Each structure stands twice: as structure tokens, then as C-alpha cells.
């Protein structure tokens, strides 16, 4: 093994590798530390990636592609006991070509999302994927997870932004699918298999994305809901009034707002009214959207869907509202509790029903559990968490709650995994969700691309 490690080090040169003890932050994540690994490789080019994968594949060494390691599901760290290397793409971070006329950009996989967003904006264009980890997450990781985030309502998920990919296959071959075509019905659309594949099929080295005209004006409004059962009524009203101008519609829990205001004194309380649920609404266009927001507020108040609201009238107020949204991350507020979490997907019209039913189920098993939910409403996506007293968390109740909520999600025709992906964390739950036919097809795809099972073993649906 030592000879192979030396060979890998030689491929990338002195700056291209890190010893395990020098890279603890790359070998664990938000969920805890991972299994042992041989070393971290940080290649600079597609050619180096290709040579690394060929050596690893020939010697049965597992490869874990890693971008910013900001995923939330144990997805980019070693989780199996086998000889493994972590392959960090972070040095491959160039923007190769931004074509304003085509509104496309070609970029290396390790480019940080925010860097690409800012570069696009300097050219009057918008790179649509956006979420709280924008300063650390890479575009390769965004595509590896098919990230969702705050702009899906208007622009779709990351998948919808991808025009082409260059991918290094586990055996070292390079697939150049780096096309920038809108239409290309020349066979199976292979790039779709790599999008959301969580590093289990190959290593994305370059990407071509579509960009959008930048929306010059955007304005946000926070409203307190009279009752969560009226959420979809408000959403429909927003769509009727604003159409495509409605670019974000985010449900936030009152408990999260209070916790964020306590913890972050720089965030100003937006309104005095206290409610169980709030919605942060953003509209965007090339000219003012204020009249649409006002119309929504007036109609929503008249029909008593909205209990109170505040319209951001300056950039500072707008940032304050969005800072509040970004601090809806619950684990920072419930340290020491046992956390149970789901990244639920249901059809949009059933979100309120799901929230009510899930709380009843959780409280039926553990009456003092804290239920906490944040939702990208337009995407039917609910980040659902339940926090248990640590002593209760050690008992079988935890598994019972997981089972009951999984069953509830499936009875709603939903998925236990929406935008965050599967990783090692949700693998067993997701397996139960798949029919035999679907599981068989997915396994065969994996075997076609990675017959030796070296790509990110233990993730998604696969043991190896
Ligand atoms: C504060 C915060 C907010 C977040 N909000 C959202 C949100 O709203 N929506 C959302 O969808 N996610 C969200 N996330 C999750 C996370 O940011 C995304 O999953 C992101 O896409 C991961 O990018 P990354 O570069 O960190 O990838 P990593 O975490 O490094 O990797 C993610 C997966 O992609 C694979 N991968 C990485 N690079 C490549 C490559 N070049 N080729 C092949 N596979 C690769 C990895 O093996 C792994 O399976 C949030 C995370 C945080 C910390």
C-alpha cells in the first residue's frame, strides 16, 4: 500500500496532497467524524484526476469526491472500513469561460458557488442556485447533490441549470459531455445520471451552466400567518397576483424566529405580532414589485390569512429579513437534545396537512418533543426536525418516531429525502422507499459505471 500512496502523491506533487492528521475538517462533517482514510488528494487538473482514479480503481481503493463538505447527510467523508482516499476538488476552481451572448458559463468543479454568483452578477447575469452555504459549497457539490435552495420556485433545482459536464469515470476514462446545447436529442441524456449522484458514479471535473438575466429589483415581505392551515391559500394568492415574479416563499416557525432573535442581537425584530408561523415572501422583476406585494398583503389581510406583515423598504431591512431566514437552522438552538430529522418532499397542496399530522404523530409518542419545521413551500419541501430530551432519546421511542414519520411521508405519496440527498445518513430509510423494480434498475446503473464499487461506497443506496 505504501508504494501506491507514493505513486498517488507523485501524480499531484507536493501541493496536491494532505496527510490525514493535517486535514481533520475534511474527514468529518456536521454529523461527526468518518472512518480512516489513507490521505487527501487535491488535484489541479482533469488529467491528474484521471490518473488518480485509474490507480485507485486498479488497486481497489475507494474514492470520496469532496467539494466544500457542506452537505448535511454524511456524504463526502469515508464511512466504510476500506482503503480510501478523499479527493478534494477545491484547487480546481477556475471560471473557464463566461459567454454573455449565450448566457452560459463553463467552470471547474471546485469553484465556490458565491464566486460564480458574483462573477455572473458583474456581467448582468444570474447563477440561480443559492442557499446558506453559498460561501463554501462548490458547484461540483451543488450538482453532486442536485441542491435546491431559495430560487427553485422561479428557476428550478440545480439540475435545470446544467447544460453539460466533463466527468472522470472510475477507471480513469474521461467523458467529455461539456456541451452548451439547449436541444440535444442524440441519445440518453447521460449528464442527468451524474446530477444528484452523490459522487457514486464518477468525478465531475468541469461544468457548463445556463445563466439568467439578473433581476434588477427584488423586494421582500414577512407575514405572520393566522393559521398554518391557510398556508396554501396564501401561496395561491401570491401566484395569482405576481405570477413568475414570486421568487421565494419560505415558511418559518415562530419558535425559530424567537430563538434567532435571542441568539443574534444584531437581527432586528421585524414585527411585534407573535405567531406560530411566518412566511418570508420575495418578488423579483426588472421594475418595482412593490404594488404586487402590497396587493398580496391587502387581499391576504382582508381574507384573514395574514395576521400581520412588514414590507422591507430598504436594502438593510431586506437583509435583516433574510438573515432571520438563514438562522432558522435548528441544531444551533437545541444543543444537547436528541435530533431526529427529515428532508420531506410532499405535493405543495398537502404541506399544511403534513405539518399538522406529523406533530400529532410525534406528540402521540412523546408529548414534550419539540417539533420544528422550515419549508420551501413552492417546492413542497419541508425540513422537519423533532428534538427529544436526551434521556428519552436513548430509548426505543426515537426509532418508533422515525418509523411513524417515514410511514406518514409515504402515505402522503412523498419522499423522505428532498433536496439534501441521501448520503450515508438516509441510506436505509431511502432503500425502504424504493420498489424492487426501481432498486434493481438503480443498482444496475451503479454497476455499469462503477463495476468495482470504488466510488463513494456506503452512500445513497449502495453498500459499495
Ligand atoms: C448552512 C447550510 C445551508 C444549506 N442549505 C441548503 C439548501 O437550502 N438547499 C440544499 O439543497 N442544500 C443546502 N445545504 C447543503 C449543502 O450546502 C449542499 O448539499 C451543497 O450542494 C454541497 O456542496 P459541497 O461543495 O459542500 O459538496 P460536498 O458536501 O463536498 O459533497 C456533496 C456530495 O457531492 C459529491 N461531490 C462533490 N463534488 C463532486 C464532484 N466534483 N464530482 C462528483 N461528486 C461530487 C460528494 O461526494 C458528496 O456526495 C446547506 C448546507 C448548509 C451548511
Calculate how far, in angstroms, residue 300's C-alpha sits from the geometric centre of ligand 1: 36
Q: How far is CA 133 from CA 120, 130, 192, 415, in A?
A: 18, 8, 24, 23
Structural domain count of the chain: 4
Ligand 1 atom at shortest distance from the alpha carbon of 167: 42
Q: Does ligand 1 lie within 6 Å of residue 380's CB atom? A: no
Q: Does ligand 1 lie within 6 Å of residue 194's CB atom? A: no
Indicate if the pLDDT at residue 464 is higher than 90.
Answer: no
Q: Report, as an integer, the average pLDDT of 188-201.
A: 98
CA angle 204, 209, 213 (to 5 degrees): 160
Calculate how far, in angstroms, residue 136's C-alpha sits from the geometric centre of ligand 1: 9
Indicate if the pLDDT at residue 20 is higher than 90.
Answer: yes
Q: Does ligand 1 lie within 6 Å of residue 219's CB atom? A: no
> For a substitution probing ligand 1, which of 43, 65, 71 has the most ligand atoms within 8 Å of its CB?
71
**Whether residue 208 is found in the same domain as residue 222:** no
Read off the pLDDT of residues 365-412 as tens digits, 9 standing for 90 and up. 999 999 999 999 999 999 999 999 999 999 999 999 999 999 999 999
Q: Report, as an integer, the average pLDDT of 22-49.
A: 94
Read off the pLDDT of residues 270-307 as tens digits, 9 standing for 90 and up. 999 999 999 999 999 989 999 999 999 999 999 999 99
**Whether residue 334 is found in the same domain as residue 322:** no
Calculate how far, in angstroms, residue 418's C-alpha sits from the geometric centre of ligand 1: 13
Indicate if the pLDDT at residue 216 is higher than 90.
Answer: no
Confidence of residue 420 (pLDDT cuts 50, 70, 90): very high
Residue 362 φ then ψ, to 5°: -65, -45
Q: Residue 248 CA to chain centroid, in angstroms?
A: 16
Query: What does the alpha-carbon distance between residue 127 and residue 213 come to, in Å, rounded to a whole number?
Result: 9
Is there a contact between 167 and 174 (Cβ–Cβ < 8 Å)? yes
| Residue minimizing CA distance to atom 15 of ligand 1 | 71
| Residue minimizing CA distance to atom 23 of ligand 1 | 141
Strands 212-213 and 125-126: antiparallel
Q: Does ligand 1 lie within 6 Å of residue 12's CB atom? A: no
DSSP letter at 181?
A: -
Return the beta strands (E) in 157-312 as ranges: 162-168, 174-177, 203-210, 212-213, 217-225, 246-253, 277-285, 306-311
The string of DSSP letters for 208-230 reads: EEE-EE--SEEEEEEEEES-GGG
Q: In CATH, what number is assigned to the domain containing residue 400?
A: 3.30.70.2740
Specify the pTM. Answer: 0.93
> For a substitution probing ligand 1, which of 137, 177, 251 has the most ligand atoms within 8 Å of its CB?
137
Give SS3 for 373.
strand
Question: What is the span of the domain harbouring residue 402?
Answer: 330-421
Please identify, among 387, 402, 421, the residue that sits at the C-terminal boundary of a domain: 421
Q: Does ligand 1 lie within 6 Å of residue 393's CB atom? A: no
Q: Residue 357 CA to chain centroid, in angstroms?
A: 25
Sequence length of the chain is 464
Q: Does ligand 1 lie within 6 Å of residue 145's CB atom? A: yes
**Whether residue 223 is found in the same domain as residue 257:** yes
**Whether residue 208 is found in the same domain as residue 223:** no
Residue 188: CB atoms within 10 A of its CB come to: 7
- Across the chain, mean pLDDT equals 96
Q: Residue 135 CA to chain centroid, in angstroms?
A: 14
Is there a contact between 338 and 390 (Cβ–Cβ < 8 Å)? yes
Query: What does the alpha-carbon distance between residue 190 and residue 314 come to, in Å, rounded to a whole number?
Result: 45
**Whether residue 79 is found in the same domain as residue 7:** yes
**Whether residue 334 is found in the same domain as residue 321:** no
Is there a contact between 138 and 113 (Cβ–Cβ < 8 Å)? yes
Q: Does ligand 1 lie within 6 Å of residue 327's CB atom? A: no
pLDDT of residue 215: 80
Q: In CATH, what number is assigned to the domain containing residue 258?
A: 3.30.70.2190
Amino acid at each position: 500500500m505504501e508504494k501506491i500512496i507514493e505513486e498517488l502523491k507523485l501524480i499531484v506533487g507536493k501541493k496536491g496532497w494532505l496527510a490525514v492528521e493535517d486535514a481533520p475538517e475534511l474527514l468529518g462533517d456536521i454529523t461527526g467524524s468518518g472512518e480512516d482514510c489513507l490521505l487527501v488528494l487535491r488535484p489541479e487538473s482533469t488529467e491528474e484526476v484521471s490518473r488518480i482514479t485509474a490507480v485507485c480503481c486498479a488497486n481497489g481503493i475507494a474514492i470520496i469526491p469532496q467539494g466544500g463538505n457542506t452537505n448535511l447527510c454524511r456524504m463526502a467523508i469515508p464511512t466504510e472500513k476500506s482503503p480510501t482516499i478523499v479527493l478534494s476538488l477545491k484547487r480546481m476552481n477556475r471560471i473557464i469561460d463566461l459567454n454573455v451572448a449565450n448566457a452560459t458559463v463553463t467552470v471547474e468543479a471546485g469553484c465556490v458557488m458565491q464566486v460564480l454568483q458574483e462573477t455572473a452578477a458583474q456581467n448582468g447575469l444570474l447563477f440561480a442556485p443559492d442557499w446558506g452555504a453559498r460561501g463554501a459549497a462548490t458547484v461540483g457539490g451543488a450538482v453532486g447533490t442536485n441542491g435546491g435552495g431559495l430560487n427553485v420556485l422561479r428557476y428550478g433545482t440545480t439540475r435545470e441549470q446544467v447544460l453539460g459536464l466533463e466527468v472522470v469515470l472510475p477507471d480513469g476514462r474521461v467523458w467529455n459531455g461539456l456541451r452548451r446545447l439547449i436541444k440535444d436529442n442524440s441519445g440518453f441524456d447521460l449528464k442527468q445520471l451524474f446530477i444528484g449522484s452523490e459522487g457514486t458514479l464518477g468525478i465531475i471535473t468541469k461544468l457548463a451552466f445556463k445563466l439568467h438575466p439578473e433581476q434588477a429589483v427584488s423586494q421582500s415581505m414577512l407575514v405572520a400567518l393566522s393559521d398554518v392551515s391557510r398556508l396554501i391559500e396564501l401561496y395561491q394568492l401570491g401566484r395569482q397576483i405576481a405570477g413568475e415574479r414570486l421568487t421565494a416563499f419560505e415558511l418559518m416557525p415562530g419558535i425559530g424566529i424567537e430563538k434567532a432573535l435571542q441568539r443574534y442581537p444584531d437581527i432586528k425584530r421585524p414585527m411585534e405580532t407573535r405567531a406560530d408561523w411566518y412566511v418570508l415572501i420575495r418578488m423579483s422583476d426588472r421594475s418595482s414589485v412593490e404594488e404586487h406585494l402590497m396587493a398580496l398583503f391587502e387581499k391576504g389581510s382582508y381574507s384573514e390569512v395574514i395576521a400581520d406583515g412588514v414590507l422591507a423598504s430598504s436594502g438593510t431591512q431586506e437583509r435583516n429579513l433574510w438573515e432571520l431566514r438563514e438562522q432558522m437552522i435548528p441544531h444551533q438552538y437545541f444543543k444537547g437534545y436528541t435530533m431526529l430529522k427529515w428532508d420531506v418532499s410532499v405535493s405543495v397542496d398537502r404541506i399544511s396537512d403534513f405539518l399538522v399530522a406529523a406533530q400529532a404523530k410525534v406528540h402521540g409518542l412523546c408529548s414534550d418533543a419539540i417539533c420544528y419545521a422550515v419549508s420551501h413551500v413552492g417546492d413542497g419541501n419541508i425540513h422537519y426536525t423533532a428534538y427529544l430530551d436526551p434521556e428519552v432519546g436513548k430509548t426505543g421511542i426515537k426509532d418508533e418516531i422515525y418509523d411513524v414519520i417515514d410511514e406518514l411521508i409515504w402515505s402522503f405519496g412523498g419522499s423522505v429525502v428532498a433536496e439534501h440527498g441521501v448520503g450515508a445518513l438516509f441510506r436505509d430509510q431511502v432503500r425502504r422507499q424504493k420498489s424492487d423494480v426501481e432498486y434493481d434498475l438503480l443498482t444496475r446503473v451503479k454497476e455499469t459505471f462503477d463495476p468495482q464499487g470504488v466510488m463513494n461506497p456506503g452512500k445513497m443506496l449502495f453498500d459499495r
